[in-house]
A and B are shown apart, each in its own frame.
Chain A
């Protein structure tokens, strides 16, 4: 494995202590049949960063996110997560995944388990935590996302916003090094969107490393330390919110922003 290259787009306001890449992608390519979904993605995600990926639908934003825990295997290029190269030789894929939290657009809570068991299942089964330890952690996480009183409910009894907050708590229960959020508010009503976004903002402020695919541009401007603009399977432009929103360099970016803002 070659040594980590210097950051191609250094964010000058970042302290040096946080300059460790959690995720490194070099020339990542993916095809679905003849459709070239990812066309040479290269980027690095650093500890403590909140990276927002945005772009038109069909630009493979979600696909890219899903390659980072190998829910979608990539076909060419290199992905290194927490120092482990993801390829078909990865023997301990489940260990890599345990360190990468994921929050889905449709929550994907386990319908047959209570909120408590949804959160404690993986810590108990994968991390071999005791039930007591896992339960206590679950309660703390639910307090953090603001719904401790729902611990004994089933997912079907919760609103969309509550379910997504449980899903965030479930992902956090594994103490992930990085949290992937795949359009976390796209399936929610406006009120629930506010609930969930405020939880994510709080996480971002607490220093959690996050990669978020979202269409909520106001939110992106507020929380993102860096934005990646995706179009047709490529990173067209990346930069801080000020650079992207106020001084976009690329015509494609300008066009997209003018359509949605």
Chain B
């Protein structure tokens, strides 16, 4: 029943507390049936929280994560080559801070979330050589955030902060891949852990997004042959299980690659990235096609009436509106891509999930798979949640209104 129903308030209690009690009485304990239901659910929830909490605090032994954190994060990445990774971490935290400050702010809820995540993860990094570097990365993020918040008062500077952030992201992603190749490079078979998941997801996304745009354009093209080719490609990819794609990348992709510049002899990791990009590109294309078909004809007519050529209308009008329409679906595809990177273990690569499984073979940590799998789960959940919140911000930024929602 409605919370407006008259209820007597006990004297002495604060208004918030009284309102909460009124709400509970009106919603949870208003009939005998509801009272029983409420008590049963509370009992089940309580038991669950108690069991989990007790396990978390007393039984769980997080040494398995602490001892294996290097394996979980970077796999068998060669010692002495870490300089290829840290720039990406520094740039990443700085850009997260800058972007967060330039487009939004860390509200009380975000702060709570950050505190909880920090409290869960940071204790695992006590001791160890990476500690000052991690502290540096976090400090960079905080400073970048503070700078972005300070320049918000000045519209011109804020614009520059946003440009720097966007440019930074566009440079950082390919640059962090380039760092793996320059100065002798790292044997790609040694890539592993969370780093492998991130690298594969980033690189595949950079391939899948342009591919998806081209496929979406091809599928809506007026050239019949092109439309047919793109449709066949998209439907083929959408029908294939990802595991099959990965197996093909493992066993057969080399046979299809042209024999120029040694492309046909690329390492497995690159082939896996190509497979992910080809696969995800089809889904991106479908999301974008949906976004494009939702662009009203009037917008294209207005562009044509102003004298824009077809390609100009596409670049300045149709595609931006389509991306805006498709933003939630695209974000879903990107999150799905990141999650799917855990499938690389089927072709023998040691990503974070596979590394976690490997730790349970270690004699010291028999039976500790709960802790390590929970850790992997938390890391992936936090990443996916962050991506999802990011896509909300992007949608808002593209929403075409100055009004707050």
Query: Nearest Cβ distance between residue A20 and chain B, in whole angstroms?
Result: 22
**CB 8 Å contact bits of B260-301 with A (1 = contact, 0 = none):** 000000000000000000000000000000000000101101
Across-interface contacts of B303 in A (CB, < 8 A)? 110
Across-interface contacts of B317 in A (CB, < 8 A)? 110
Q: A106-B298, A110-B317, A126-B312 in contact; A157/B305 too (CB < 8 A)?
A: no
Q: Is the CB of A104 within 8 A of B302?
A: yes
Q: Does B402 contact A (CB under 8 A)?
A: yes
In angstroms, Cα B317 to Cα A109, docked, is 10
**CB 8 Å contact bits of A104-125 with B (1 = contact, 0 = none):** 1010111111000000011001
Across-interface contacts of B299 in A (CB, < 8 A)? 108, 110-111
Across-interface contacts of B215 in A (CB, < 8 A)? none
Q: Does B32 contact A (CB under 8 A)?
A: no
Q: Does A219 contact B (CB under 8 A)?
A: no
Q: Does B139 contact A (CB under 8 A)?
A: no
Across-interface contacts of A102 in B (CB, < 8 A)? 302, 305
CB contact between B307 and one of A98, A108, A109 (< 8 Å): that residue: A98
Across-interface contacts of A109 in B (CB, < 8 A)? 302
Q: Does B154 contact A (CB under 8 A)?
A: no
Q: A104-B301, A125-B312 in contact; A157/B307 too (CB < 8 A)?
A: no
Q: Is the CB of A112 within 8 A of B320?
A: yes
Q: A106-B298, A126-B312, A156-B400 in contact; A112/B306 too (CB < 8 A)?
A: no
Residues of B303-321 whose CB lies within 8 A of A: 303-309, 312, 316-317, 320-321
In angstroms, Cα B166 to Cα A139, docked, is 29
Query: Nearest Cβ distance between residue A164 and chain B, in whole angstroms?
Result: 12
Q: A104-B302, A154-B401, A157-B401 in contact; A112/B324 too (CB < 8 A)?
A: yes
Q: Is the CB of A112 within 8 A of B305?
A: no
Q: Is the CB of B306 within 8 A of A157?
A: no
Q: Is the CB of A121 within 8 A of B403?
A: no
Jot down 14 A-B pairs with beta carbons below 8 A, ordered by A.
Answer: A71-B301, A71-B304, A71-B305, A97-B306, A99-B307, A111-B321, A111-B400, A112-B320, A112-B398, A126-B308, A154-B402, A155-B400, A156-B399, A156-B400
Which residues of chain A have a CB within 8 Å of any CB of chain B? 69, 71, 94-102, 104, 106, 108-113, 121-122, 125-126, 152-157, 167, 170-171, 174
